[in-house]
Structure 1
Amino acid sequence: MRFGTFIPQGWRFDLVGIDPADQWHAMSALAQRADAGPWESLWVYDHFHTTPVASQEATHEAWTLMAAFAASTSRIRLGQMCTCMGYRNPAYLAKVAATVDVISGGRAEMGIGAGWYQHEWEAYGYGFPEAPERLKMLREGVEIMRQAWTTGQATLDGTYYQVDGAIVQPQPLQDGGIPMWIAGGGEKVTLKIAAKYATYTNFTGTLEEFDHKSDVLRGHCDTLGRDFSEITRSSNFDTIVGETEADAEDRLAAVIARVRPFVQDEHADRIERGIRRSDGFGSVEQVTEKLARKGEHGLGYAIHYFPEAAYDTSGIELFEREVIPALS
């Protein structure tokens, strides 16, 4: 199994209490720590407003962070989980990503999805198209990016995007362009797009749901004549790991106590329930066992979000010391 880690950027109230002037230092230090550690990749979210409620707390922009991490790290790969197709013109996004790839020496990943956070869509003036339209935007945008990275320019007279000889130079350094992570588990459209374009997929759920989505993806690959094994399946995990169950509970309590003043109690309780359900929550033994079982069912890449990262790295250190070596 391969491993990635999220860098806190404020979106999930994971930089509260840190002065905004000092938040880049906190993020950069964690990125450099990951760069020196066992992680294959670091990740950020592509969102503008905090969740589960919008607030005035800082949320740092994903692709700006990509460029900053590209210049301030040396080894680790750089991804977003996931870029919202509707937030940027796809030819422009292809250009931005190619530049990040060059700055990083060929370490960029492209996590891309249809988007879902209605509040920020509308607040930023993007409207909020119905899901079928957002998925069609995703399909057109992915085609434009693939053209741009393989030919140096893109032309598409689409329903949602029209580009005519858009030049994307410099080209990404990676052969074949930047790897595509198609995020989402929509069975009729998203997984079909993934079967055609993705190097990686990213969807979550129970073991039974993971198996079902995998079977749907395999079916789309068979229809298109693509080898299913070419696509690495990944999932994201909210991760709080302790030496013991009691240690994990104490860590979770500290996280919830930190965010509760910024969200309503019902949201804080929902966050707590979500973390408890995650395969990344529990003692070292519990987390290792749950992830190993997912690996036996085809999970090839686990991306971990540590909500305590900006305040306490001891849980990350424990995961690096005990869990990663057992599963790598």
Structure 2
Amino acid sequence: MRLCVFTEPQLGASYEDQLAIARRAEELGFEAFFRSDHYLSTSGDGLPGPTDSWVTLGALARETSTIRLGTLVTSATFRLPGPLAIAVAQVDAMSGGRVELGLGTGWLEREHTAYGIPFPSTPERFDRLTEQLEILRGLWTTPAGQTFSFEGRHYDVVDSPALPKPVQPAGPPIIIGGKGPKRTPRIAARYADEFNVPFSSLEDTDAQYRRVVEAIEQEGRDGRAPIVFSFAQTIVCGRDDAEVRRRAEALGLDPKEPQPGQLYGTPDRLAEQIRGFVKAGASRAFLQLLDLRDLDHLELIASDLAPQLD
């Protein structure tokens, strides 16, 4: 099981906070540092305010050397596909080929209205996401010296030089995630290198993986590598029950009544819970850390939990 650190900086974290945890995660051997793509906090005051995901990742690309970097997930409503392709390719080059792009429809309407971003209907957002994925792949894979064009319902690309190129030959891996039972699995089957189920029970995660497998059988993969399955869970780890309880209460969580998408316990108990996702087909875990300043938490996961999942 490959472990990734997953953060939600919009809840209240500066660039310096993110740099500190990304560097420490790299030192501790975590595979990746991922962050959300939100402009509004869903709890608390959100101070000092949001940080843009791709501006942040571009900076982290120059401040780290081995850890992979990405979004879970970039909102397709926030950026036009061409400029997004340029930004991600540039950060990929800045990192030496360590970038991954999680891309989704966007879902939090009030963060759009708070910053003057249009928020189309759900069907239109799915349509826009599909077109964006077509354009991203097209721009990244068009050979140098040739041009790329695309005509869609929402986006047209005409004779683009399709530059710059990412460092990774086929472009950064694309992660599609979600719980939707119909369009989400079909989009993942067609475009994704990795499929992620966020904050769900083991049973629901397993069911969604099966839907994606079924969609792949129907869509085909055109010779591409098999899809990677992953999951995201909030994690609260402690050396004993008292430490688990203290960490959870500091975050406003209740380990006595865990919700789907939340993992609580000592390293031994957490390893047992995570092995259930492995049996369902997952090979990558995105562990959501809600307190970015609690580096002891990160170190405990690396020293006591990670070795049990090798």
TM-score by length of 2: 0.92
Structure 1 gap segments, 5+ residues each: 16-22, 257-270
Whichever residue aligns with residue 320 of structure 1, its letter is: A
TM-score by length of 1: 0.87
Question: Once the 2 structures are TM-superposed, how far is the Cα of residue 54 of structure 1 from its aligned partner?
Answer: 6.9
Aligned counterpart, 2:208: 213
Aligned counterpart, 2:70: 79
Change in 2 beyond 3 A, CA 1:228/1:293:
farther
Q: Distance in 2 between matches of 1:170 and 1:130?
A: 32
Aligned counterpart, 1:166: 160
Selected match of 1:145 from 93, 116, 136: 136
Q: What SS is found at the alignment partner of 2:40?
A: coil
Pairing 1:110–2:84 present: no
Q: After superposition, where does 1:1-328 map in structure 2 within 5 Å?
A: 1-7=1-7, 9=9, 11-13=10-12, 15=13, 23-52=14-43, 57-151=48-142, 153-204=147-198, 205-226=200-221, 230-256=226-252, 272=254, 276-277=258-259, 278-310=261-293, 312-328=294-310
Q: What SS is found at the alignment partner of 2:290?
A: coil
Q: Distance in 2 between matches of 1:198 and 1:274?
A: 36
Q: What SS is found at the alignment partner of 2:283?
A: strand
* Kept after mapping to 1: 8 A contact 2:245/2:255: no
Aligned counterpart, 1:18: none
Deviations 1:276-323 (A, max 9, x none): 33453222222111001111111111011112231x211211110111
Q: Distance in 1 between matches of 2:247 and 2:6?
A: 18
Q: Distance in 2 between matches of 1:126 and 1:159?
A: 19
Percent identity between matched residues is: 31
Change in 2 beyond 3 A, CA 1:52/1:160:
farther
Q: Distance in 2 between matches of 1:243 and 1:127?
A: 46
Change in 2 beyond 3 A, CA 1:56/1:249:
closer
Q: What SS is found at the alignment partner of 1:315?
A: helix
* Kept after mapping to 1: 8 A contact 2:26/2:66: yes
CA RMSD across the alignment: 2.1
Question: Once the 2 structures are TM-superposed, how far is the Cα of residue 52 of structure 1 from its aligned partner?
Answer: 3.6
Q: What SS is found at the alignment partner of 2:99?
A: coil
Aligned counterpart, 1:267: none
Change in 2 beyond 3 A, CA 1:156/1:104:
same
Q: What SS is found at the alignment partner of 1:276?
A: coil
* Kept after mapping to 1: 8 A contact 2:148/2:159: yes
Whichever residue aligns with residue 290 of structure 2, its letter is: P
* Richer in helix (by share): 1
Structure 2 gap segments, 5+ residues each: none
